[in-house]
Amino acid sequence: MIVIVAITSFNRWDSYHPYSMALARFRRDFTTLNDYYWGAAASISAVGGKLRHLKDSDDFRSQLGLASSRFEKPLGHVTSVFGGQVRRSEEWHRRAVLVMLASALERYLATVTTLAAASNPTLSRAPHLLDGLALLKYDVQTVTHDVVDVVKGDWNSRSAAFSRLFGPNPLLHDAISAFERMRRDRNAIAHSFGSQSAAEVLSPHAMLLVGAGRTANAYGEISVSEKRLVKLFNRVHSVVEAVDRQLMAEQIGSYEVAALYIEWERDPTAFEQACGANLWHKDRSKERNAKRFLTFAYGAGVTVEYVRSMEKYLLGL
């Protein structure tokens, strides 16, 4: 657990917060996905274990506590048939989790790289040649770096784009093979419903015919084992944490908190309401209201002295 201590002085290129807001969002997504996977996996395993001891003639719905009439038609009355449904559910549960994990990784990378380019438009390491906060403060629009290559195409090109823009990240580079396989499987599952192998040998017209009249053995489904999925969970988490440490230290610093303050300052009540907060109090100073809002946004650590130090920095831009 990271404890955020109260900070009284704003330092632009040192991170106020130990991780980016993009990582905070990824961690919430990752926890939700982890709970979703293991909750369902445990339930499916428990049901499968019970079914192994039942005959087709047994009332499996009563044995499993599924006596509600809403289960009667979808589940039927034959134990072995329902067992097949459970096995297919387990297979598709893992496939669905792989799709969501790949999406969470891409959303994080798209967000954090966009943030890094906004914070440090020249993408120079220290000394930083241009502060993105100045552009934000004066609403200056410039040609920005195109970070789309970090989340588009194969993972060889994505890793190369990341290195070109931000410098190499060893953990990201080492994960290329695993991430590329995940990308290909995600596309096959999400877009062509497991038809990847057929797409490589059939014409578009033939693919339509096969897809329209598809049988279970028309072509193989994408296989996702639990062992592989657990490895991907760990790999994705490690890479995201490593990327965040790199970009926070070299590109982002305390950009987020100051950028949030700049946006908030323009119309505090409207901005707070858009964020789901209503913290402005007319009898408090602007600095105290800002402290209250930034504490809401970050959780802890913001002081009035920190807000004043940040204001002084922004005035000098």
Summarize the confidence of residues 255-283 as an average pLDDT: 94
Contact call for residues 115 and 136 (beta carbons, < 8 A): no
| Domain boundaries defined on the chain | 1-17+254-317, 23-32+91-249
Summarize the confidence of residues 218-233 as an average pLDDT: 85
At position 260, the amino acid (one-letter code) is L
The pTM assigned to this predicted structure is 0.89
Give per-residue pLDDT as tens, 302-315: 899 999 999 999 99
User: DSSP assignment of 162-221, as one string?
Assistant: HHHHH---HHHHHTHHHHHHHHHHHHHHHTSTT-HHHHTTS-HHHHHHHHHT--TTSSPP
**pLDDT > 50? residue 160:** yes
The percent of the chain in helix, strand and coil, each rounded to the nearest 5, is 65, 0, 35
Residue 215 banded pLDDT, cuts 50, 70, 90: very low
**pLDDT > 70? residue 102:** yes
The chain-wide mean pLDDT, for the chain, equals 90
Q: What CA–CA distances, in Å, run from 308 to 14, 17, 236? A: 17, 17, 38
**pLDDT > 50? residue 115:** yes
Residue 218 banded pLDDT, cuts 50, 70, 90: very low
pLDDT at 273: 93
User: What residue has token string 């704003």?
Assistant: 10
pLDDT > 70 fraction of the chain, expressed in percent and rounded: 89
